[in-house]
Amino acid sequence: MKRKVVNIILYALSAAFLIAGVYLLVRQYVLIPGEYEPPASPAPTPTPTPVATATPGVSETPVPTPSPTPYVKPIPTRIYFTKAEIMADIVPVGIIQKGERQGQMDTVDDPDLAAWYEPGPAPGEEGNALINGHKSWKGKIGRFSVLWDMAVGDEIAIEYEDGAVKYFYVVFVDFYPYDGVPNTVMDLSGESRVTLITCYGDYDRTAGTSKQRCVVVCQSAEVISAKQTPDAE
């Protein structure tokens, strides 16, 4: 009888370990995005209001020249990977000030969040807007692991603090050694683009990071179209 009880306990423990192992495997390698809310459709372009022309010989009250509206930098708050139906809130970050990674773009210690380099351009502005995210963090798969499977033409959407939404399309995907990422990837200047970055490959304990980086570059339809249109003669 005692032997039977011991066997039952061992079977129960084996089953528990098996279930725990499967759970950890799924948590590490299967993305569970949770709820997904599609981004809002872009607002239609307003129709310009016709301006009345002055009638010759008729005096009119001069209209004061309006003061120029000061430019307000758009703040991205959420990124949507529409094909995969995955989204992540965006947190502004800066430069790491201390430690071995001093001088590098900071990250957010959360697999469900993305980090935007606030001192640089915002998505849609002239220049290179940098956004990074984790492939995994403390055993949980990160939302930016979706970058691994992205292809040219895939769509992302960026939502801003004021509720506006802009759409961008993948124009470039590549993988680099963690210590061999070209300087152009992090260059903030140049044409308008959004560069998404995450880790890829096995973890290198010596370096304290994954062996590779996945880089996805996106541009708006307007920028892509302008590059494809031949110069007028």
pLDDT digits (tens), the chain, 233 positions? 666 655 566 555 555 444 444 343 344 444 545 678 889 876 554 444 554 445 555 556 667 777 777 888 999 999 999 999 999 999 999 999 988 778 899 999 999 999 999 999 999 999 999 999 999 988 899 999 999 999 999 999 999 999 999 999 999 999 999 999 999 999 999 999 999 999 999 888 887 888 999 999 999 999 999 988 766 44
In sequence order, the β-bridge partners of residue 90 are 114
C-alpha count within 13 angstroms, C-beta hemisphere, residue 193? 20
Whether 91 is covered by a domain: the verdict is yes
Residue 83's Cα: distance from chain center in Å?
A: 14
Residues 7 and 103 in one domain: no
Q: Domain total for the chain?
A: 2
Who's near 13: CB < 8 A, 6+ residues apart? none
Residues 207 and 124 in one domain: yes
Whether 38 is covered by a domain: the verdict is no
Q: What is the pTM of this model?
A: 0.76
Structural domain of 119: 72-233
Residues 181 and 116 in one domain: yes
Whether 42 is covered by a domain: the verdict is no
Whether 57 is covered by a domain: the verdict is no
Whether 55 is covered by a domain: the verdict is no
